């Protein structure tokens, strides 16, 4: 898991998503059709905190599994990370929370 040293307010991320609850004309779109590893809050989170793009590029460069944004951000997860990815990111950003974890 990778969490930068700043917070990202959930309300701001959802506001950027611009969902509506008008049943005749809703904008739920892909929320109704989940894609493994995809989080519809990623695009709004990136627009609010462009530095998160650095994390997405990093995770893609060490791609050894599926990765994504956890919730509304700014924490990311990577399935089956390569050990050197954790070491590299910890050295590059010592103020970020970077941890190898396991799901049980």
Q: Which is it for the CA torsion 61, 32, 70, 10, positive or negative?
A: positive
pLDDT digits (tens, 9 = 90+) for 63-96: 556 788 998 889 988 777 677 878 888 898 899 9
Number of domains observed in the structure of the chain: 1
Task: Report if residue 53 sits inside a domain.
Answer: yes
Q: Which of 46, 39, 36, 30 is nearest to 79 (CA)?
A: 36
Containing domain of residue 36, as a range? 2-98
Task: Report if residue 18 sits inside a domain.
Answer: yes
Total-model pTM: 0.74
Percent of all residues in the chain with a pLDDT value above 70, rounded to a whole number: 74
What are the structure tokens assigned to 51, written together? 């530095």
Number of Cβ atoms within 10 Å of the Cβ of 38: 13
Q: What is the CATH number of the domain that holds 30?
A: 3.30.70.890
Task: Report if residue 104 sits inside a domain.
Answer: no
Task: Report if residue 103 sits inside a domain.
Answer: no
The HSE-up count of residue 22 (CA atoms within 13 Å, CB side) is 6
State how far the Cα of 8 lies from the Cα of 52, in Å rounded to an integer: 11
State how far the Cα of 21 lies from the Cα of 86, in Å rounded to an integer: 40
pLDDT digits (tens, 9 = 90+) for 11-26: 999 888 876 666 665 5
């Amino acid at each position: 898991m990778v969490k930068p040293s700043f917070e990202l307010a959930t309300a701001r991320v959802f506001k950027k998503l611009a969902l509506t609850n008008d049943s005749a004309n809703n904008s739920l779109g892909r929320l109704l059709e989940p894609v493994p590893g995809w989080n519809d809050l990623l695009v709004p989170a990136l627009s609010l905190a462009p530095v998160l793009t650095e994390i997405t590029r990093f995770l893609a460069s060490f791609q050894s599994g599926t990765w994504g944004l956890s919730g509304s951000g700014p924490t990311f997860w990577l399935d089956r990370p390569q050990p050197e990815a954790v070491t590299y990111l910890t050295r590059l950003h010592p103020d970020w929370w970077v941890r190898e974890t396991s799901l049980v």
